[in-house]
Amino acid sequence: MRSLQSLGTQISVFSGGDATPMLEEFSPQEIPVMSFSYKGRRLNLRKMAVDNSFLVPNLLLQQGQALRQITSRLCESRPDLVISDSEPLVLAAARRLGIKTCVLDRYTALKYGPDRGLSALDFLEKKASIKAYTALMGHVDYAIGTSFYSTPEELTTKSGTEVSIVGGIVAPDARTIEPSDAGHVLVYANSGREEFLNVVLEAIRESAPDRPVIVYPSKKDEVRGSTTYKRPDRTSFLQDLASSSLLVTTAGNQLLGECRALGKRVLAIPESSMEQKANARHVPVVGLGLSTSLDELERHPEIICEALETSVLPSKRSGLLAASVKLRRIIIRGS
């Protein structure tokens, strides 16, 4: 968003959930978004179905309070282009108003990326996951795919969607900060992942008890023994990431890309989604660290020590400029 602003683009930001406090500088307008819930180590599909039931009338029937609310806000601003990071309601509202749509997300890179290295089961899971994603997002005019391991590519689909794969997008603040090693282990656990956090912290205590630990995100700042819990704050998090010895986290694409730019070791523990599994599979391939499962870490906490000893191959390559220029061209073409 900063990159688009630097190119003279006016932007309005809609967000929801955990993303809103991280986007305060852009004065985001909060909207209902899909939420994820966990039961133990897996997604709680039943609770997710209940929590996200508002999507049924809004997307399937094209009517509902959330869709009306977002459509009304788009009517006020009348943007030339709506860009979504896998958020279907904003795309649906834009299509109702005849506004051009674009997705900028990891799933686009997964959808059009290679299938090599996949088992038969993973291949079928990937196809099913992409089919569900496509149905949820609907038709878009443009799609920009980003992943920390992908290579640039451009194509046009049979339905007319212009697709660009631009590689990993690393924000300027993550590319310019100076990395160091203060010796701590940084743990990033999505909200609602208490069991994930408990298993990771126990493994660190057992295999690397002398290492201080910093945990994000927390509801409040506090210190418990050698573990420091911190509320979400982009600047603080980047400083702690840049000075860490190891990051233990799920396999989110954006964060892995920032770790690669900073040359930081990662122990990736993917969630059950196909996207995260694909990301985790590529962590050791690109020289970023190790990947494991929560069950495996619980059985073998020494994996923490193994991850701390891995060598990292940093890469400053970022698709940020390519994505920004592509979006700017789309906006100029449509205005």
Shared domain check, 88 and 108? yes
Q: For residue 98, what pLDDT is reported? A: 94
Question: Which amino acid, one-letter code, is at 139?
Answer: H
Shared domain check, 326 and 283? no
- Quick one: pLDDT band at residue 225, thresholds 50, 70, 90? very high
Q: For residue 207, what pLDDT is reported? A: 96
Question: Percent of the chain scored above 90 by pLDDT?
Answer: 43
Closest C-alpha among 310, 308, 258, 253 to residue 280: 253
CA 199 – CA 215 distance, rounded (Å): 13
Q: Tell me if 326 is assigned to some domain.
A: yes
If you average pLDDT over residues 311-320, what whole number do you get? 78
CA 268 – CA 256 distance, rounded (Å): 9
CA 77 – CA 90 distance, rounded (Å): 13
Shared domain check, 93 and 67? yes
Shared domain check, 121 and 42? yes
CA 229 – CA 290 distance, rounded (Å): 24
Range of the domain at 87: 2-169+318-334
- Quick one: pLDDT band at residue 150, thresholds 50, 70, 90? confident
Q: Tell me if 79 is assigned to some domain.
A: yes
Render pLDDT for 178-224 as a digit per residue (tens, 0 to 9). 999 999 999 998 755 788 999 999 999 999 999 999 999 998 999 99
The strand ranges marked E within the chain are: 14-15, 29-30, 38-39, 42-43, 81-84, 100-105, 142-145, 153-156, 162-165, 185-188, 213-216, 222-224, 227-229, 246-249, 266-268, 289-291
Secondary structure class of 304 (helix, strand, coil): helix
Judge whether 198 and 297 are in contact, CB under 8 Å: no
Closest C-alpha among 256, 288, 259 to residue 275: 256
- Count other Cβ atoms within 10 Å, centred on residue 159: 9
Q: Across all residues in the chain, what is the average pLDDT?
A: 87
Is 80 exceeded by the pLDDT of residue 228? Answer: yes
CA 202 – CA 102 distance, rounded (Å): 42
Judge whether 82 and 90 are in contact, CB under 8 Å: yes
* Helical axes 120-137 vs 274-282, angle rounded to 10°: 130
Shared domain check, 275 and 128? no
Q: For residue 41, what pLDDT is reported? A: 57
The CA R_g of the chain, rounded to the nearest whole Å, is 20
Shared domain check, 124 and 222? no
Q: For residue 329, what pLDDT is reported? A: 84
Shared domain check, 119 and 8? yes
Task: List Cα–Cα distances, 253 to 6, 22, 322, in angstroms.
Answer: 24, 17, 17
Shared domain check, 141 and 9? yes
If you average pLDDT over residues 131-160, what whole number do you get? 89
Question: Sign of dihedral through CA atoms 8, 153, 104, 26?
Answer: negative
Q: Tell me if 129 is assigned to some domain.
A: yes
Render pLDDT for 65-95 as a digit per residue (tens, 0 to 9). 888 888 999 998 889 899 998 888 999 999 9
Q: For residue 335, what pLDDT is reported? A: 52
Render pLDDT for 14-49 as a digit per residue (tens, 0 to 9). 888 777 777 888 888 888 777 766 666 566 667 777
Shared domain check, 151 and 117? yes
Strand-pair partners of 104: 144
Shared domain check, 192 and 329? no
Question: Sign of dihedral through CA atoms 108, 217, 52, 75?
Answer: negative
Shared domain check, 179 and 165? no
User: Which uninterrupted H or E stretch holds 153?
Assistant: strand 153-156
Give 10: exposed, middle or buried? Use CB within 10 Å, 0-12, 13-18, 19+: exposed
Q: For residue 60, what pLDDT is reported? A: 67
Q: For residue 330, what pLDDT is reported? A: 86
Shared domain check, 196 and 149? no
Residue with tokens 């391939």: 285
Question: Sign of dihedral through CA atoms 258, 261, 263, 269?
Answer: positive
Q: For residue 280, what pLDDT is reported? A: 92
Q: How many domains does the chain have?
A: 2
Q: For residue 227, what pLDDT is reported? A: 97
If you average pLDDT over residues 58-67, what whole number do you get? 76
Judge whether 318 and 275 are in contact, CB under 8 Å: no
Question: Percent of the chain scored above 70 by pLDDT?
Answer: 93
Q: Tell me if 17 is assigned to some domain.
A: yes
**CATH code, domain carrying 297:** 3.40.50.2000
Contacts of 11 (CB under 8 A, 6+ apart): 1, 4, 5, 26
Q: For residue 211, what pLDDT is reported? A: 97
Q: Tell me if 313 is assigned to some domain.
A: no
Q: For residue 222, what pLDDT is reported? A: 96
**CATH code, domain carrying 40:** 3.40.50
Strand-pair partners of 100: 81
